[in-house]
Amino acid sequence: MTLPKAVEIREVGPRDGLQNEKVFIPTDLKVQWIDLISKTGVRHVEVSSFVSPKWIPALADHNEVFEQITRDEKITYAALVPNLKGMEGAIKQKVDEVALFISASEEHNKSNVNASIDESLQNLKAVAAAANDAGIPLRGYISTVFGSPFGDEVQLQTVKRIIDAYIEMGVSEISLGDTIGVADPVQVKAILLELLTDYDRELFALHFHDTYGRALANIFAALEMGITKYDSAIGGLGGCPYAPGASGNVSTNDLVNFLHRLGVETNIDEEKLFTATQFLQQAINRQPDSKVYKVQSQ
Amino acid sequence: MTLPKAVEIREVGPRDGLQNEKVFIPTDLKVQWIDLISKTGVRHVEVSSFVSPKWIPALADHNEVFEQITRDEKITYAALVPNLKGMEGAIKQKVDEVALFISASEEHNKSNVNASIDESLQNLKAVAAAANDAGIPLRGYISTVFGSPFGDEVQLQTVKRIIDAYIEMGVSEISLGDTIGVADPVQVKAILLELLTDYDRELFALHFHDTYGRALANIFAALEMGITKYDSAIGGLGGCPYAPGASGNVSTNDLVNFLHRLGVETNIDEEKLFTATQFLQQAINRQPDSKVYKVQSQ
């Protein structure tokens, strides 16, 4: 059980977090917040989603946000992109990395984008090709890897089929998502054991939601399997559309504090992270869902 | 990594939880709550503390609570006892088990009971002897095993010295406490590895606070080491006197849900646990600190 010496955090709060906010956070607050995030030492920020404002009104200002943030050249500023139109927008804004997404559950994928997994993979090929042409690195999300909100069983064979298709498209990093927060450490180790016999561990990031409080236990299991990339959101932002009011992404605050306690480096400064979380608290006008932040706020 | 097939939960909410409440919960509400807890299937409940009302006003009604609860003969109704006077009270109320306590940190023990560890051990001998004479089984808490709020380093040698003294006194179960919630899974495994070379694993229960959100990760580490007894509090009740406003004991709700997901039996019915938590929420008039309860409340 030798843990990795260092891991990379993907801060997904501005995208995966804010997309679940009911109230639109004004663009200038988003920009100020992302600029504070850039100062924490994190090396990867998912800034927004180039998606129709009809789908996700909370992220309607993706262009303005990308235009107004101060970019640090050491940081990868990424964006989610659902289709070719979004890809064009992302290319125009010179995003550093583009993230595609698909679900490993047929039911969830249908509910999400009204297409089967095969149809989605077909559609994503053109989107990926556009990114490749523009020389933009590709990240691929696979959601519901550990369980589906519709109760259909997620097959590891389906996950592998998507991974293979993503690799074929030129995707260089794949984020395995526990969209509804049901994963447990035994399952995490079993799935990773299976995947790491076929794929390089550097291919994977893990993306846990903390719906049932198990995210850190799951991340520890993944650390024991040598995984070095984790998605998280400042203040535990985000949510689960299938469990309203539930906890969102694992909080960057709790994760970084946990990793530092374990002696695992993150390059993130906890004081600056606290500052960025205080700013978020004012912007969303509620207590962020992070135990570490709660202690630090006293 | 074979997990235990079943574990035993020690519900410590009525004692370790309520002792931190600022507002006195009326006796009849405590009694109704404990009676609901008795219906969940849990086999061990720490009901109150036979301590001076000056010390812990929240538990001043320990006699009335013991007199008024409906006891289920399958359940062990325990109480904390700090001294001989408390032991006499506990014997009068025919408690099923008495718990002693001491800290593994000299500084913390001094702050808690104004005595050195050696002095405390000396004092506890007479208390234990009274329990032995009365034929009441003894449980022993050791707090700050994983870290002290005063920053003094806690030595495993000290922990072993206390364990040996407890065994000498006739203590049959020892609860290793992470009083300030700082433990991490690597540390948990390392400490248990050391202790289990000298002692039987059935001797130990683990008692984690969830101050930094790491309790379930730590419990999973302990499960992997074969530990089968865990303390927890409904609704994450309790707190850390050294981190005001911080999270308390790991919530029974999140723990039981986690264990059931792992296929580990607890004998606890999650619906009845939910009912007992709803009652608690009304009694304390705030949202309990449990992610699982939050989801179930939607």
The pLDDT assigned to A144 comes to 95
| Mean pLDDT of the B3-32 span | 96
pLDDT band at residue A92 using 50, 70 and 90 as cut-offs: very high
Q: How confident is residue A29, by pLDDT bands cut at 50, 70 and 90?
A: very high
Listed residue (B219, B255, B221) closest to B237, CA to CA: B255
Taking contacts as CB-CB distances below 8 angstroms, the residues of chain B near A184 are: 258, 261-262
Residue A214 — pLDDT band, cuts 50, 70, 90?
very high
| Residue among A60, A135, A67 at smallest CA distance from A96 | A135
* Residue B280 · residue B33 · CB < 8 Å: yes
Residue A9: count other Cβ atoms within 10 Å of its Cβ.
Answer: 24
Residue A125, pLDDT above cutoff 80: yes
- What's residue A154's pLDDT? 93
The gap from C-alpha A13 to its chain's centroid, in whole angstroms, comes to 8
% of chain B residues with pLDDT over 70: 98
- Which amino acid belongs to residue A248? G
Q: Is the pLDDT of residue B34 over 70?
A: yes
User: Within B93-214, where are the H helices?
Assistant: 106-113, 117-134, 156-169, 185-198
**Tokens 């260092």 sit on residue:** A6
Of B184, B216, B243, the CB nearest to A213: B216
- pLDDT value at residue A298: 86
Nearest to A237 by CA among A1, A55, A59: A59
* Mean pLDDT of the region B15-43: 96
Per-residue model confidence (pLDDT) at position A247: 81
Best of A2, A5, A184, A289 to disrupt the B interface by mutation (most B CBs within 10 Å)? A184
Separation of alpha carbons A184 and A215, rounded Å: 8
pLDDT of residue B247: 81
Contact list, A257 vs chain B (CB under 8 Å) = 212
CB contact at 8 A, A208 and A183: yes
| Residue A238 parent element (H or E) | none
Give B258's contacts in chain A (Cβ within 8 Å). Answer: 184, 212-214, 217
| Residue B164, pLDDT score | 98
B188 three-class SS: helix
Report the Cα A27 to chain-centroid distance in Å. 21
pLDDT digits (tens, 9 = 90+) for B79-88: 999 999 999 9
pLDDT grade for A1, boundaries at 50, 70 and 90: low
Write out pLDDT tens, residues B217-235: 999 999 999 999 999 999 9
Residue of B nearest to A291 (CA): B212
Determine contact, residues A273/A11, Cβ cutoff 8 Å. no
Here the tokens at position B212 are: 């930094």
Backbone angles phi, psi at B205, to 5 degrees: -115, 155
b/e A252-278 (16+ beta carbons within 10 angstroms → b): bbbbbbbbebbebebebebebbbebbb
Domains of chain B by residue range: 8-296
Q: What does the DSSP assignment read for B194-224?
A: HHHHHS-GGGEEEEEB-TTS-HHHHHHHHHH
pLDDT tens for each residue of B113-130: 999 999 999 999 999 999
Q: By C-alpha distance, which of B100, B103, B96, B89 is closest to B47?
A: B96
Q: What is the pLDDT of residue A20?
A: 87
- Nearest-by-CA chain B residue for A251: B213
CATH number of B8-296: 3.20.20.70
To the nearest 10°, report the CA torsion of B261, B266, B271, B275. Answer: -130
Position B246 scores a pLDDT of 75
Residue B241 confidence (pLDDT) above 80: no
What is the C-alpha to C-alpha distance for residues B15 and B27, in angstroms, rounded to an integer? 13
Average pLDDT over residues A41-65: 96
- Could you identify the residue written with the tokens 């409904």? B234
Mean pLDDT of B64-71: 98
**List of residues 6+ apart from A122 with CB closer than 8 A:** none
Collapsed DSSP state (helix, strand, coil) of residue A240:
strand
Tell me the torsion sign for CA atoms A52, A53, A57, A63. Answer: positive
pLDDT over 90 (residue A64) = yes
Q: Which of residues 194-233 of A touch B (CB under 8 A)?
A: 210-214, 216-217, 219-221
Token pair listed for A213 = 């409080």
Per DSSP, what are the bridge partners of residue B209?
B249
